[in-house]
Amino acid sequence: MFATVWVEEATRKIRFKPDRAAVGRELMGHIQDLQEQYEAQGLSPYDAEMQATEDMGDPAAIADDLGRLHRPYLGWLWRLSQWTLGILLAWAVLAGIGYVRNLLEYPAAEVELPQLPEAVESNGAWTRRLLEHWDITGSVDLGGYRFTVPLAYLQEVTYEGPEEDFTPLQYELTVCLRASSWRFWEPISGGQYMILSHEAVDSDGTRYGRWEPGLFSEETHRHYFCNTYGDGPLAVWYEIQLDIQDGEMPDWVDIPIGYGEESLRLNFAEGVVGP
């Protein structure tokens, strides 16, 4: 009884409850050690407990000292740091799980990310010349994901092989979209048909689509293709190629995305991306 009252009085000015409980347990341990010593000397448990509490000193004076030492904001700061560390560890584990799932589902995630090509690149009968590139600023939020445009460039493509099926000269616009999200429990889809299942349109009214049965026709749409690349557990790149007529760049291109079938607009005249 004496010990409990003494500990409550000595710790009453510690306003951070976890600290108060911890200090109280420590003080009670000291009292019990003293009480055992006095009982070993022949005192009754009652007298031993009373003597032990007297030896601990004035609880009011100790309460003042402990109140100054244990500031509540320090305790809450320590507790917050523990919670934050726990959340970060859980996030890292779940993000790693999402990353592994993404790698298993889309092996292309291991491929090197797109980069701006050299001024001239040759590969057998194919020659590609970089004509223009753009720094596209801004971002668009679609379907809970954030899209940016790290790369956009126009190339002149010539073919000098024997086959007659290829156009000797064509112009290819490459747009690289980066989709990112903090939702580690729902990895971003790296499927090409998040792009290719939808029709793109530019400011000149030209329509772009993948020529496959049930999708789009060569008679109505210019060629449209997409490669995908993983960029860690929380991002995917969509490298999109559009066949540009005679190299005449449109002012803008609307590209629908499979996330809610919404579109983003690449405004080449202003160098921005928007909804």
Residue 233 and residue 167 in one domain: yes
Q: Among 70, 97, 129, where does a domain finish? A: 70
In a domain, 24, yes or no: yes
Instruction: Please determine, for residue 79, whether its predicted confidence score (pLDDT) is greater than 70.
Output: no
* pLDDT attached to residue 112: 72
- For the chain, what is the domain count? 2
DSSP letters of 14-46?
A: --SHHHHHHHHHHHHHHHHHHHHHHHHTT--HH
Which tops the pLDDT comparison, 125 or 228? 228
Which tops the pLDDT comparison, 112 or 132? 132
Residue 183 and residue 248 in one domain: yes
Question: What is the DSSP secondary structure assignment for residue 239, as one 8-state letter?
Answer: E
Is the CB of residue 192 less than 8 Å from the CB of residue 226?
yes
In a domain, 103, yes or no: no
Instruction: Please determine, for residue 96, whether its predicted confidence score (pLDDT) is greater than 70.
Output: no
* pLDDT attached to residue 71: 61
- Distance separating alpha carbons of residues 78 and 63, to the nearest angstrom: 22
Residue 190: which CATH number? 2.60.40
In a domain, 122, yes or no: yes
In a domain, 83, yes or no: no
Domain of residue 54, residue span: 2-70
Q: Whose CA is closest to 254, among 195, 185, 214?
A: 195
Residue 64 and residue 118 in one domain: no
* pLDDT attached to residue 74: 54
Residue 118 and residue 239 in one domain: yes
Q: What are the Cα distances from residue 212, in Å, to 192, 222, 241? A: 14, 12, 16
pLDDT (tens digit per residue) in 101-110 = 555 554 444 4
Residue 125 and residue 233 in one domain: yes
Question: pLDDT band at 150, cuts 50/70/90?
Answer: very high
In a domain, 100, yes or no: no
pLDDT (tens digit per residue) in 171-191 = 999 999 999 888 766 767 778
- Distance separating alpha carbons of residues 268 and 251, to the nearest angstrom: 5
* pLDDT attached to residue 80: 63
Please state the pTM of the whole predicted model: 0.59
* pLDDT attached to residue 244: 92
- Distance separating alpha carbons of residues 49 and 212, to the nearest angstrom: 90
Residue 143 and residue 41 in one domain: no
Residue 59 and residue 120 in one domain: no
Which tops the pLDDT comparison, 106 or 157? 157
CA count, 13 A, side-chain hemisphere, 138: 15
Residue 165 and residue 61 in one domain: no
Residue 62 and residue 144 in one domain: no
Q: Among 39, 70, 101, where does a domain finish? A: 70
Residue 176 and residue 261 in one domain: yes
Q: Whose CA is closest to 51, among 29, 65, 32?
A: 32
